[in-house]
Structure 1
């Protein structure tokens, strides 16, 4: 076996697909049944859509033409707003389960080159010839290298001693879907006093709403800060229970430990504020597999740092700046008054993840 992929989410499955395309054999270890759901904003920027298309994956969803910032405190929804196109090609709003199902079908179509094992990794033992992966069910898988894409709270990152504490406020995400026709083809970001709500059209009759916050309280309590959005959602039928994820900020000492490479959220994560996670994760997965294929696993560390650097810098700056209630109060007005700066920021996110 050439590669073990730890984690069968979107990043892990993309890693396996790239491995198969390069003639490598891969086994994906994932304890959950497909399709796997997760609390996320569900908006894929044009660069991410292109990454999927290159693998022949075309999930159903709703086109996203732009990103709109909205003053969430306005009672009638007519407060300050700023919007910018994501580019000449649209992005895509797609439910996480729909995306995962499409990627699962693609891995199944790859034939014997990709094998999936429903189990959990509990041990990693490396030597000069490869990595022995111990499974909770008692078995083992042996491969030349491992790509770990097992999420924000990556057990692999902890097993390798690569976890690093973060002093940032512990922001988390909460997400729910509603049966309502999208009122825009933009991702709307409603800014409240202490949280943001991301409204993403994911079908002709469904929107996903994700709230990011560092405050205690549930989904409904956070929406109180955005009265117009809250009132609009009151008239819509919720399609599922609230799902949560976090803390969002995760740090890793390195992305490479011998023959093990970290990709996606497992490699470190800043915040979901700019919606770049999936695209960056897919580019990292591709880079990790390419480095393994040419016998240069160490080279992945430098490639990881280069991938999406502008987007990570933008996200970090926004997260720090918006800890201030003064900044949050005037952010949308400032974006509307300096539209070229706002459009430039959106271009960074849309093109580099």
Structure 2
């Protein structure tokens, strides 16, 4: 039999999500911090977020989303697991092997990808490589984060923005022209901006030791204004690039599912693309910025709401610490998110 001249395309065939049940509203935050619902909504578009309770870790969220993704795909197992996260259960080891074990997947390869809010797209590209080389026939990609574990409890800006959650997809090899097939994932980075989004202490550059603990800063920090400008420019560029690879013009894009960071960033990206804001799906009003979980959570929400239908042309894009950014495009498959 003659081998195909092209490697198989990664095809999205399952989607599952999980949000911790505990909800923190803007009014709840106003009881602890100098803020209010109007201040938060006007600057971020966020009204509430889901937050884990004590004892619940990133792996717990990832496992629940993974189980649902398997159900959505009609599968009981996969050949590999990739977890995109900034908040692993522990600094060492990676969280993915535990997730794979808890899912009952045996000794499949499992590892973490760290690209902050762009992590889900980086993990998708990595999964595509597994499928293209035949290293796996099915791959689960999970974006999961518990940002509440790294937020300064006194910082009203970051606590207002971030929430916890997980989203998982299952990929299989298929044809490049079938619904659900991903083209090349557009990825990029710029380490010159590595200090714009970071957790200053806890890594090898500034380890937390007993003698320096009083000077350590283990919390998430972000320079919002500089991040805003970079995020809009980079996500718009990446979105155009992946659309062009599919032969789409802006008018051909049925839905833009951007990383749910801030409503003003999302609208600015749509405006720069000359795409009607009505085609930019918004989910962060109910969940906040869920980092690596953002895109799969938003895709599932759009599909359930009916704003994303089988055959629709969708572009996803994200920007995160590193700095990292990227985009992917596909025709939406006929799947039921779980």
Q: Same fold (TM over 0.5)?
A: no
Larger Rg: 1
**TM-score of the pair, normalised by structure 1:** 0.32
